[in-house]
Structure 1
Amino acid sequence: MKAISPTDALRIDGTRLWRSLMDLGAIGATPKGGVCRLALTDLDKQGRDLVSGWAIAEGMSVTVDQIGNIFMRRAGRNNDLPPVVTGSHIDTQPTGGKFDGNYGVLAGIEIIRTLNHYNIQTEAPIEVAVWTNEEGSRFVPVMMGSGVFCGAFTLEHAYAAADTGGITVKDELTRIGYIGDQLCGDHPIGAYYEAHIEQGPVLENADTVIGVVPAVLGLSWYDCTVTGFESHAGPTPMAIRKDALQVSTYIMQEVVAIALRYAPYGRGTVGAVQVMPNSRNVIPGMVKFSIDLRNVSDEALDSMNADLYAYIDKIRTQSGLGIALERVSYFPPCNFHPDCVGQVRNAASMLGYATMDVVSGAGHDAIYTARVAPSGMIFVPCKDGVSHNEIEDAKPEHLEAGANVLLHAILASAVVVPSKNNLRSVIKSEE
């Protein structure tokens, strides 16, 4: 049986966490209650300045690397140890909410405030990270800061990325004053935890407070182009038409069928479609559309990929139309480290929160940190599973619960330095 430590009584201040979320959410606030704070804009700078200021007020040091990732450090007793890091991002979608990403960063700040309040010292340092351009709304690739950090792509590639106005990442980092000196990746991590709203309906539907995240779905993205022949919708008999849209719909239906065959984690989506010439009385001559396939294992995703290409070959032969399929992006499935997953599970159990395993269908910075350090995630419910939307919402008590789990997972990894004085204050507050 695990011995009960006085620090088991530690809890974050949920009211203070909520207030911080609302204060950050006021920067770029939208009329519908959401947030528009795109990466590397003036509003992003204001958000970065606010969060960094909170960290400095808590006695933390702040380091910025060359891609603009921010690392806010609370010293440990042994600062030669790699830090236990938590964090996420504060850039948003154009019509984003107050919680996606922001919660993970501010839960980390709240943990530091709690440890400082009770004078709790840890053996290893603790850091809170803000990763640059996770959303990818203004610049691609998505998860840029963590991707450069772990070597998924080069700093030069990220610097050259430009928005629709031709402004580059490097230009904007320089302009807002967040192009740091530290080499990307030259920053050790002992363990990484990321708290996040689920961005899906599973926890809410199961009336469960904490999602333990063992893995993130891998994904394959494709561009498909079907080429037929444009002609007048009235005089052209059905039997001789070369209708690119009709053939495209067969492929779109097969995308869904493939996902259903690889349940329960199979996903298949067509999200973007261009029909040309897009005229009411012209048979479409060309259709371009996206395909998104996801699953939890390389084997399943490879099989889905093979099924898709096989179907394309079949429908190409049957229809006689030109069909081009190109895989444009691939993120392998990510299995989080069992030690970090276990710490999250243990913390939730100790705190008495109901849990369930939830495989993430969305990408997060943690999938890149997992390449360089043991990593894990904590999910809390969001209302109706809605995210990337101005109506995105979460209950304060759920956010508080997730931050408490994060607190105790971090303490288990960073190791509390015993002290009668600081532990006595925790016991007294509990009484």
Structure 2
Amino acid sequence: MTADTSVTVDGDRFRDRFDAFNEIGATEAGGVNRPALSDANKQARDRLVEWFREAGLDVRVDAMGNIFGRREGRDPDAATVLFGSHVDSQYNGGRYDGVVGVLGALEVVEALNDAGVETDRPIEIVAWSNEEGVRFQPDMLGSGVYAAEFDLEYAYGREDDEGRTFGEELERIGYRGDAPCEPGDLHCYFELHVEQGPFLEREGVPVAAVEGVYGFAWLNVTFEGQANHAGPTPMTMRRDAFVGAADVTKAVRELTATEGTDLVGTVGSVDVWPNAINVIPERVEFTVDLRSYDNATVAAAVERVRNEVAWAAEREGLDHEVEEIMRIDADPFDEGCIETVVEAAEDAGCEYTRLVSGAGHDANYLNTVTPTSMIFVPSVDGVSHRESEFTEWDDVVAGTEVLLRAVRKRAEG
């Protein structure tokens, strides 16, 4: 297919829709609070379904609450080009993460409708459930069930901090659909997303063709010591669970400099009991996130953290437990889909580069069932998962123009 400049996205319409959508769950600091299956997430889903139908899409909702909007092609039996992202957010997260990919996909459909373009293949937008994983762990749960990484019973049984299960909350908000959560006949998958890192802004490039995603491991670590009064208890008689956690936290930072050049490590969630100013901590539970594009590096880092936990426990006289709650291998994307994104950027006259993502995305799981790639647009200051998350609108439009051309290339022929 040659470049067709008569089909283009409407940046103003897209911006109006983006701003209206982000009024749902808006926070005072300029972000959004729409964790999976919350009331705000339901409102966002309702708005999305409404807009899908207004654009002439056939809407279906599967058993995991994944929302699909289908536009038929000339050959209804041809394999489908699927594209989209997610609309759930972090707690007090940013306006761009996930939403750019879903509403950008909708703008692609609107642009094709405006131009009266009918594709050969059907095309289908998807909004995945529980990508963020902040309320129900693990993350990427909707796409994970879709790709048979998790079974439905496991997903329905995931609990939030208040003991409410994913299945119950999906039912409560009215998005436990009848369609099976499994792939149909797919031709490929594309996902537009903000980079969530500093590379594109640093290089002054508006678009990246994403070559793959880091592998990562999530660990949950527990130290058990002994609570006691902070004043009378001699230092030599303490079994301080937080000291163990602090030692491991320092070790995670140190090992990222020794185990691999791209290895990153984070202690992101910490719970302390009894969490009182004058009581020695008896129990600490915390998470460790380890990532690299090399699977062996992740595996070595996991083993090192396990050893650091054991050594810290021995020094402080603590009981300990390490649970690996998630492991995903590094995931190179399909070279054909990557080249499609590159060609689409060239057709759009858009400067581009190629890079690897340090963040996990639904595209990880889609890549196991169909050829996949992603399109990144810059994150200002590399900031994401915060209310201050921001992407210049011209870059959002540029990425959506590339998505439009990539989808057309794969859907026509």
Instruction: Give the alignment's TM-score, normalised by structure 1.
Output: 0.88
Once residues 38 and 313 of structure 1 are traced to their aligned partners in structure 2, the CA distance between those partners, rounded to angstroms, is: 35
Unaligned runs of 5+ in 1: 417-431
1:176-255 pair list within 5 angstroms: 176-234=173-231, 237-238=234-235, 241-255=238-252
Distance 1:319 1:33, change over 3 A: closer
Q: How big is each residue's C-alpha offset from its partner over 1:121-160, in whole Å with a ceiling of 9 and x where there is no partner?
A: 2211111111122223333332221111111111122223
Query: Counterpart in 2 of 1:50?
Result: 47
Query: Counterpart in 2 of 1:61?
Result: 58
**How far 1:303 moved relative to its partner?**
1.7
* Partner SS state of residue 48, structure 1: helix
**8 Å Cα contact 2:243/2:316 also seen in 1:** no
**8 Å Cα contact 2:61/2:179 also seen in 1:** yes
AA aligned to 1:78 is D
Q: 2:103 aligns with which of 98, 106, 123?
A: 106
Once residues 277 and 176 of structure 1 are traced to their aligned partners in structure 2, the CA distance between those partners, rounded to angstroms, is: 35
Query: Counterpart in 2 of 1:354?
Result: 351
Query: Counterpart in 1 of 2:77?
Result: 80
Query: 4+ runs of 1 displaced by more than 6 Å?
Result: none
1:376 corresponds to 2:373:
yes
Once residues 158 and 308 of structure 2 are traced to their aligned partners in structure 1, the CA distance between those partners, rounded to angstroms, is: 35
If you compute each CA radius of gyration, which structure gives the higher value, 1 or 2? 1
Once residues 36 and 318 of structure 1 are traced to their aligned partners in structure 2, the CA distance between those partners, rounded to angstroms, is: 41
Query: Counterpart in 2 of 1:423?
Result: none
Query: Counterpart in 2 of 1:170?
Result: 167
Once residues 174 and 387 of structure 2 are traced to their aligned partners in structure 1, the CA distance between those partners, rounded to angstroms, is: 28
**How far 1:266 moved relative to its partner?**
0.4
Query: Counterpart in 1 of 2:285?
Result: 288
Query: Counterpart in 2 of 1:426?
Result: none
Q: 2:113 aligns with which of 116, 120, 134?
A: 116
Q: How big is each residue's C-alpha offset from its partner over 1:224-262, in whole Å with a ceiling of 9 and x where there is no partner?
A: 233445555555555565444334323221111221223
Once residues 184 and 230 of structure 1 are traced to their aligned partners in structure 2, the CA distance between those partners, rounded to angstroms, is: 47
**8 Å Cα contact 2:223/2:313 also seen in 1:** no
Once residues 72 and 285 of structure 1 are traced to their aligned partners in structure 2, the CA distance between those partners, rounded to angstroms, is: 51
**How far 1:110 moved relative to its partner?**
0.6
Q: 1:27 aligns with which of 11, 21, 24?
A: 24
1:17 corresponds to 2:14:
yes
Instruction: Give the alignment's TM-score, normalised by structure 2.
Output: 0.91
AA aligned to 2:167 is K
Identity of aligned pairs, percent?
40
**How far 1:201 moved relative to its partner?**
2.0
AA aligned to 1:287 is V
Unaligned runs of 5+ in 2: none
* Partner SS state of residue 7, structure 1: coil
Query: Counterpart in 1 of 2:2?
Result: 5
* Partner SS state of residue 330, structure 1: strand
Q: How big is each residue's C-alpha offset from its partner over 1:138-188, in whole Å with a ceiling of 9 and x where there is no partner?
A: 333322211111111111222233444444333333343322221110523
AA aligned to 1:184 is C
AA aligned to 2:340 is Q
AA aligned to 2:361 is H
Distance 1:390 1:318, change over 3 A: closer
